[in-house]
Chains A and B, each alone.
Chain A
Amino acid sequence: MSYAHPEYLVDTEWVANHLDDPNVRIIESDEDPLLYAIGHIPGSAQVDWFSTLQHPLRRDFLTKEQFEEVASSLGITNDTTVVFYGDKSNWFACYALWLFQYYGHQNVKIMNGGRIKWEQEKRPLVKKIPSFSRTTYSAKEADKSIRAFRDDVFKQLEEKKPLVDVRSPKEYSGELTHMPNYPQEGATRAGHIPTAVSIPWAQAVNEADATFKTPEELRALYEGKNIKADGEIIAYCRIGERSSLTWFVLKYLLGYPTVKNYDGSWTEWGNLVDAPIEK
């Protein structure tokens, strides 16, 4: 058994062999914004989930026009193969990939194992910031079939369709209201969305080298909790970053046709007046 869409995954060796490929843009997307400055894959660009990809005022992503500006400044054309990698088992790499897909960029991949595996293999990291010739990128209209808003979640509840909570067990059970040290990411209520099943994101990756688990292991993990290919699934976490990894796994590694990431996630639901909560 292989992954459903193996073309969305490349290994570190593939990346090492494509460092100078003009049709490939390698992008680092981390939780810790200083990692790139300390050392990154030669020729790679950086996007920061917050300062690059979020709307400067509203709680939302860049607009289509703003996204076009970011892609153009990174020298990306509509045909460029964009490979994402990052820290923490590729959390924010998956988040960036999801946003590129949201604006219609088709040719995207994750470097399996991310920074951890690249470092373990003692491959080169450099401080030199590359410069790119500007392109004129043309984004598509936002693809809302991969993004859930709060009303979609209410509808999901009404229709008794599956929800996956990918946070840690203590966040799911409501023991933890918010993460200490993340004052901007708090919620006034703790618990989870009713009917959501708990499948922490980290169960989809191997702890040793941050690569994804095998297709068999992934299938057993999600089907074992009744998250199956024929369900229309919504995944969420706290701000939508960990659940974009689960979204990637369900959509591309297992090939589930309908999966949405709810980026409002707990920081919206746990603050939303009149929203049902279970503990």
Chain B
Amino acid sequence: MSLPQKLQEIVDDIASMSREEKLETLISYAESFPVLPERYKNERNQMEAVPECMTPVFLIAEKQDDGGLIFHFDIPPQSPTVRGLASILASGLNGCKPEEVLSVPADFYTPMKLEEAVSGQRINGFRGVLAHMKQVAVKAMSA
């Protein structure tokens, strides 16, 4: 089964890169991480406390007229790896329908072999971020 087109392109692109290019790409995704729009700052403050040692990931989805979702994140700058992963996911999935978000397999990221560039344990953070996005997508379906 293939991924939503944009995400598939990103995965294929990164998969073909050298170790150095992967590192640079992840850094640029982390550095271009968009700030949370002002209108969501209040909701951000109502977010539940997250247990220590897990990076707090705040996430909200806007449903567009065509049913596509636009994800907005808030992740602290001290966690660039998670920012980078969320940024890749947002780039790959923004505009997708909730059903398409739900169709992404939990291990979609393995072909990229990003663990060549950063410690493999942390790349598993993709699972957490994607699972979080799917929860939001499910809510959006019933909204």
User: Using a CB–CB distance below 8 Å, which chain A residues touch chain B?
Assistant: 31-35, 37-38, 48-51, 87-88, 115-116, 168, 170-171, 176, 179-185, 202, 238, 242
Would you give 27 A-B contacts (Cβ < 8 Å), ordered by A?
A31-B53, A32-B55, A32-B82, A33-B81, A33-B122, A34-B84, A34-B118, A37-B27, A38-B30, A51-B120, A87-B78, A115-B78, A116-B78, A168-B51, A168-B52, A168-B53, A179-B51, A179-B54, A181-B55, A181-B127, A181-B129, A182-B121, A183-B124, A183-B127, A184-B121, A202-B52, A242-B53
Contact with B119, one of A50, A185, A242 (Cβ below 8 angstroms): A50
Q: Given contacts A32-B78, A88-B53, A183-B124, could you give 5 more A-B pairs where the C-beta distance is less than 8 Å?
A: A34-B26, A176-B51, A179-B53, A181-B124, A184-B124
Q: Which B residues are CB-close (under 8 A) to A49?
A: 119
In the bound complex, CA of A34 to CA of B125 (Å): 13
Instruction: Answer whether residue B80 sits at the interface, using C-beta atoms and an 8 A cutoff.
Output: yes
In the bound complex, CA of A35 to CA of B115 (Å): 15
Least Cβ distance of A246 to chain B in Å?
14
In the bound complex, CA of A168 to CA of B82 (Å): 22
Least Cβ distance of B23 to chain A in Å?
6
Q: Which B residues are CB-close (under 8 A) to A51?
A: 119-120
Q: Which residue of A lies closest to B80 (CB)?
A: A34
Classify the interface of chain B: helix, strand, loop or mixed.
helix
Q: A37-B27, A38-B31, A48-B119 are in contact. Are A181 and B54 (CB under 8 A)?
A: yes
Contact with A182, one of B27, B30, B54, B129 (Cβ below 8 angstroms): B54
User: Using a CB–CB distance below 8 Å, which chain B residues touch chain A?
Assistant: 23, 26-27, 30-31, 51-55, 78-82, 84, 118-122, 124-125, 127-129
Least Cβ distance of A44 to chain B in Å?
17
Q: Which residue of B lies closest to A50 (CB)?
A: B119
Which 6 pairs show the lowest CB-CB distances between chains A and B? A181-B128, A34-B80, A33-B118, A33-B119, A34-B81, A50-B119
Q: Which A residues are CB-close (under 8 A) to B125?
A: 181
Q: Which B residues are CB-close (under 8 A) to A168?
A: 51-53
Q: Does A34 contact B78, Cβ atoms closer than 8 Å?
A: no
Q: Which A residues are CB-close (under 8 A) to B118?
A: 33-34
Q: Which A residues are CB-close (under 8 A) to B51?
A: 168, 170-171, 176, 179
Q: Which A residues are CB-close (under 8 A) to B120?
A: 50-51
In the bound complex, CA of A129 to CA of B82 (Å): 22
In the bound complex, CA of A137 to CA of B59 (Å): 48
Q: Does A50 contact B121, Cβ atoms closer than 8 Å?
A: yes
Q: A37-B27, A242-B53 are in contact. Are A32 and B124 (CB under 8 A)?
A: no
Q: Which B residues are CB-close (under 8 A) to A31?
A: 53
Q: Does B54 contact A32, Cβ atoms closer than 8 Å?
A: no
Least Cβ distance of A129 to chain B in Å?
11
In the bound complex, CA of A116 to CA of B55 (Å): 16
In the bound complex, CA of A51 to CA of B117 (Å): 10
In the bound complex, CA of A183 to CA of B118 (Å): 17
In the bound complex, CA of A183 to CA of B107 (Å): 12
Q: Which B residues are CB-close (under 8 A) to A181?
A: 54-55, 124-125, 127-129
Q: Which B residues are CB-close (under 8 A) to A242?
A: 53
In the bound complex, CA of A202 to CA of B51 (Å): 12
Q: Which A residues are CB-close (under 8 A) to B31?
A: 38
In the bound complex, CA of A38 to CA of B32 (Å): 12
Least Cβ distance of A32 to chain B in Å?
5
